[in-house]
């Protein structure tokens, strides 16, 4: 730590000395700063009114002098550590989401790349202006591993610069869709690398590619619960049946006056990864329709009954079409949904009609950009964290993956 030492000046009694001019310069600098702040605040106030009027966040009021327009009232601006914020009072009946829905257009009018809206108290919110686009730059995933199933894993960074996370212990299955090269696999690598060391998490499932599961997990406690490749399709059905049997044992052994299992080292949370599940179903149907029905039945049981038994399903597909993922009932069981670059209709298929207006833009999104739907986060645009290349994923699993006791 650097310490600055100050010594009293031998000439401090002389009022015409250096200290006088230093004080004047400091006061002049402070005066200029306050004047600049006042000009900036006045400019922001005017731009804020124009921006809210332009996007329709306003009310029209008839008065004796004619029609007037009311917009969310600008409060006070503040600049701290280079970041500009201001307060605003929402219109009667307004919600912070009214501003968040138009955040890109509001920020553009104000001369910034983005903005964040946080509720303070009552109708007052704090607006933080962002000078850079949080989605423009790569979001590197630091060397983070969780120690428990109820710890938060990073999902991505939203447009307002906030990092979004999720704890697998929360009762939500996860659906991820995206075209080839859109970032779906890279997101999955980062997600699994964060949970591979937790003593109360077991990464299991089926992967016909053999890249997400399988060889990278050799030597870990998770490997025996994973099936890969397409040479032995019945092995995938057998693994899913084994997982269903484990789920049934947990449900049968549920203690009295309890309706769910809390993950522990002896009964870990089972994260069932289904990589390219539609491809597994197509391959099984081509070989034996009864085999495909067996696989579908097991997955339906896991997504519908598994949450109480500490089972979570992570299903990945290029397109979450109902007949490709086991039916509309299966798709409806996924509360947490991410879509990387997909056609507009595919976006609507997974996220609902509210996402239709996002379709044209999302169809051309850069790799790593996704839309997230979750309880409390309806179609939030984010950039997924980037772990690194596939070799980095293998290295992290080898380094941190939990070993069998």
User: How far lies 359's CA from each of 69, 177, 205, in Å?
Assistant: 32, 14, 31
- 124-130 β-sheet, strand order: 73-80, 83-89, 124-130, 114-121
For the CA atoms of 386, 390, 391, 395, the dihedral, rounded to the nearest 10 degrees, stands at: 70
CATH code assigned to 30-130: 3.30.980
- 163-167 β-sheet, strand order: 163-167, 152-158, 377-383, 369-374, 336-339, 174-177, 311-317, 269-275, 201-207, 226-228
183 is in an annotated binding site: yes
pLDDT at 185: 92
229 is in an annotated binding site: no
Q: Where in the chain is the domain with CATH 3.30.980?
A: 30-130
pLDDT at 210: 92
- Are 169 and 373 contacting, i.e. CB atoms less than 8 angstroms apart? no
C-alpha closest to that of 314 among 100, 103, 168? 168
pLDDT at 396: 94
- Are 239 and 227 contacting, i.e. CB atoms less than 8 angstroms apart? yes
pLDDT at 11: 42
- The two three-digit tokens of residue 194, written as one number: 């964060």
194 is in an annotated binding site: no
- The two three-digit tokens of residue 168, written as one number: 């697998």
pLDDT at 25: 65
- Calpha distance 171→167 (Å, rounded): 9
Distance of CA 374 to the CA centre of its chain: 9
C-alpha closest to that of 258 among 201, 304, 303, 308? 308
For residue 126, give the DSSP letter: E
- What is the block-wise mean pLDDT of the chain (405 residues), using blocks of 10 residues? 39 46 63 71 90 91 81 88 85 90 89 86 89 78 86 88 88 92 93 95 96 93 95 96 96 90 94 95 93 95 94 95 87 93 91 84 88 80 90 94 86
Buried b (16+ CB within 10 A) or exposed e, 36-62: eeeeebeebbeebbebbeebebeeeee
C-alpha closest to that of 309 among 362, 271, 350, 351? 271
Pick the CATH number of 152-400 from 3.40.50.300, 2.40.160.20, 2.40.50.100, 3.20.20.370: 3.40.50.300
19 is in an annotated binding site: no
178 is in an annotated binding site: yes
Distance of CA 222 to the CA centre of its chain: 25
pLDDT at 8: 42
Q: Where in the chain is the domain with CATH 3.40.50.300?
A: 152-400
Distance of CA 121 to the CA centre of its chain: 26
Distance of CA 373 to the CA centre of its chain: 9
For the CA atoms of 193, 311, 173, 240, the dihedral, rounded to the nearest 10 degrees, stands at: 90
Buried b (16+ CB within 10 A) or exposed e, 234-252: eebbebbeebbebbeebee
pLDDT at 280: 94
């Amino acid at each position: 730590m650097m310490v600055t030492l100050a010594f009293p000046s031998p000439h401090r009694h002389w009022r015409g000395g250096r200290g006088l001019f230093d004080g004047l310069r400091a006061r002049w600098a402070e005066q200029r700063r306050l004047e600049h702040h006042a000009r900036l605040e006045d400019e922001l106030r005017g731009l804020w009114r124009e921006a809210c009027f332009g996007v329709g966040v306003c009310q029209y009021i008839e008065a004796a002098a004619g029609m007037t327009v009311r917009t969310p009232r600008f409060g006070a601006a503040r600049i701290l550590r280079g970041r500009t914020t201001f307060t605003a009072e929402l219109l009667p009946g307004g919600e912070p989401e009214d501003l968040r829905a138009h955040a890109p257009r509001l920020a553009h009018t104000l001369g910034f790349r983005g903005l964040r809206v946080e509720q303070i108290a009552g109708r007052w919110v704090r607006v933080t202006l962002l000078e850079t686009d949080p989605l423009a730059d790569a979001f590197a995933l630091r060397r983070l591993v969780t120690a428990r199933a109820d710890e938060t894993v990073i999902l991505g960074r939203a447009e307002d610069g906030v990092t979004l996370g999720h704890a697998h212990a929360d009762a939500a299955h996860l659906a991820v869709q995206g075209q080839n090269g859109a970032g779906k696999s890279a997101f999955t690598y980062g997600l699994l690398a964060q949970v591979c060391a937790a003593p109360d998490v077991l990464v299991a499932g089926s992967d016909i590619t053999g890249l997400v599961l399988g060889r990278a997990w050799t030597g870990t406690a998770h490997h025996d619960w994973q099936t890969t490749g397409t040479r032995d399709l019945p092995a995938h059905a057998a693994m899913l049946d084994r997982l269903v049997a484990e789920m049934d044992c947990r449900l049968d052994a549920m203690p009295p006056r309890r309706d769910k299992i809390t993950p522990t080292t002896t009964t870990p949370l089972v994260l069932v990864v289904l990589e390219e599940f539609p491809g597994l179903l197509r391959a099984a149907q081509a070989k034996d329709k009864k085999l495909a029905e067996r696989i579908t039945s097991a997955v339906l049981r896991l997504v519908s009954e598994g949450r109480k038994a500490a089972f979570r399903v992570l299903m990945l597909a290029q397109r979450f079409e109902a007949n490709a993922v086991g039916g509309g009932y299966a798709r409806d069981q996924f509360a947490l949904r991410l879509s990387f670059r997909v056609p507009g209709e595919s976006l609507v298929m997974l996220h609902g009609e509210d996402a239709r207006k996002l379709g044209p833009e999302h169809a051309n999104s850069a790799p790593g950009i996704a839309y997230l739907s979750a309880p409390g986060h309806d179609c939030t645009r984010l950039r997924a964290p980037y772990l690194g290349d596939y070799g980095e994923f293998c290295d992290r699993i080898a380094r941190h993956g939990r070993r069998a006791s």
